[in-house]
Copies of this chain bind each other. A is one copy, B any other.
């Protein structure tokens, strides 16, 4: 069954998806499709007009999947090699994530981030893993502008200090929380950024003893929080 993401319409596909459905997949009137609105509802539908510019469908049934009882937001500094962040977005969506925010730190090597391609990757991953919730992706901000906007929930900053390692994210987090985890750039956080984050309520945590790349650490945080909220 082909799954389409249509956040705004319950009667026709976007132009891109219409072309994909009609030209690439060669779907015709009467064919079945599935459509998600990215807000938990998945519709079983039938194509009524196979127009490559404006493919119309009719909803036959719908199924609602509630949001997870916890939410994970990762704030990550874009990597110099953009493939690594693209890879993180794909994997984080597969595992389930509610929100991804990007920031530029003092040691960030990359200063520009285009959200459009990342959104496409997130949509593809949501569809591939048969999910009905589309995560929110935020435009990149300087860290000092991002921090004051995050004032609620359980806030963590992943950091491997030279001296005593902080508590592990798995034991520090409590279940069913609304979590935000800050993951540093490849050059790590600057000391002033670390103190600013701690003043803003972000508790230092470790994700394990190995030195991980930015995108690996970001994904590890997602999975640790998922596991924390899994009935085992």
Contacts and interface: CB of A to CB of B under 8 A. Distances in A.
A128 B210 CA distance: 10
Interface string A92-109: 001110000000000000
A95 B230 contact: no
Contacts of A130: 211
A25 interface: no
Size class of A's contact patch?
A: 20 to 34
Nearest to A172: B232
Interface in A62-118: 87, 91, 94-96
A217 to B, nearest CB: 9
B131 A210 contact: yes
Contact of A227 (B170, B212, B213, B219): B170
B91 A129 contact: no
A137 interface: no
A132 to B, nearest CB: 12
A180 interface: no
A28 interface: no
B230 A227 contact: no
B95 A216 contact: yes
A154 to B, nearest CB: 16
B216 A96 contact: no
Contacts of A219: 91, 219
Nearest to A168: B232
A6 to B, nearest CB: 21
A226 interface: yes
A227 B170 CA distance: 9
Rank and list the top 4 A-B pairs by shortest CB-CB distance, nearest first: A171-B232, A129-B211, A94-B216, A170-B232
